[in-house]
Amino acid sequence: MFELIDPVPGAPPPPGPWAVRPTPVRFSIDASAAPTQIWRAALSADPLAARVTLGVAREQLRAQEAALATAEERMRRATYAGTSFSSSTVGGAPERALQGLVQELRADSGTPTGASFSLHETTPTAWVAAEAQFRAFVAQARETISTYATIETRQERLLIGRTRVNWGGDVRSHLIAGVSRIQAELHRRTLTLALRSRAAILRVFGIVLRGARIVAQMISSPIGTVTALPAAWSFVQEVLGEVRGSEWVSG
């Protein structure tokens, strides 16, 4: 129903209702047709149902934005709890995952963990996986600020509106001839949703950067901010996942 067609391989879903689909690979060379991020909403032909769908999507995004607003503070608390009561788990899944990753980091660097002084023989697999995902996210964020965003609204199969926005904010919209008031509203709401999600990608990026500094500074371990980035990234994804899972996926 809502998809982001993203040229970045392995790009994670951005905040909001969007499922990520890779850009189809073409075997042709067309320099002017550079791949862009396409944000597409496929809505019902029934205006009421379409509005409801957009309303639910907006609420989903709003809930994730609200969750994002708490992420930094939660990270700070989880990190503190991890240092003070490192053998215990605090909070929900994000906090537990963060503590797990931090312990992996300490083990890899030879720093004794607060929970135990046993040697970690295993490789830090969770951290490595998070690092790969985070690098895909960095590429996605980079794509966000370097290419056009194309936002499309369809009702059933009919394309009713398409808007291109460049990073400078210029907007070019194409609307179907004779566009109705409701169709215009549906497209405008899709546009709002997509642009908010697009901005949220950068917001997540900023939160992860600040979160990594918190993790790096507040745990008793000599890790650097860069090394802590995947841990912070995973934490933010877990926080977003809590909202996705608990409130919206069931619908």
Least Å distance between CB 247 and other proteins?
12
How far apart are the C-alpha atoms of 119 and 242, rounded to whole Å?
32
Count CB atoms within 10 A of the CB of residue 20: 17
Q: 4 Cβ partners below 8 Å, 6+ apart?
A: 11, 13, 14, 18, 19, 20, 21, 37, 38, 39, 40, 197
Classify residue 246 by its DSSP letter: I
Which of 19, 174, 246, 249 binds other proteins (CB under 8 A)? It is 174
Tokens of 180: 């109705």
Least Å distance between CB 172 and other proteins?
5
- The interface with other proteins within residues 190-219 (CB under 8 A) comprises 191-193, 195-196, 198-199, 202-203, 205-206, 209-210, 212-214, 216-218
Three-point CA angle 17, 21, 23, nearest 5°: 135
Residues linked to residue 41 through DSSP beta bridges, in sequence order: 2, 153
Least Å distance between CB 24 and other proteins?
13
- The interface with other proteins within residues 14-33 (CB under 8 A) comprises 30, 32-33
Q: E strand or H helix at 150, and its extent? A: strand 149-155
Does 169 bind other proteins (CB under 8 A)? Our answer is yes
Q: Which amino acid is at 21?
A: R
Least Å distance between CB 104 and other proteins?
8
Does 138 bind other proteins (CB under 8 A)? Our answer is yes
Does 247 bind other proteins (CB under 8 A)? Our answer is no
- The interface with other proteins within residues 56-95 (CB under 8 A) comprises 58-59, 61-62, 65-66, 69-70, 73, 76-77, 80, 83-84
Which of 139, 242, 247, 248 binds other proteins (CB under 8 A)? It is 139
Which of 3, 100, 175, 242 binds other proteins (CB under 8 A)? It is 175
- The interface with other proteins within residues 104-133 (CB under 8 A) comprises 104-105, 108-110, 123-124, 127-128, 131-132
Which of 222, 245, 246, 249 binds other proteins (CB under 8 A)? It is 222
What's CA 9's distance to the chain center, in Å?
14
What are phi and psi for residue 177, nearest 5 degrees?
-60, 135
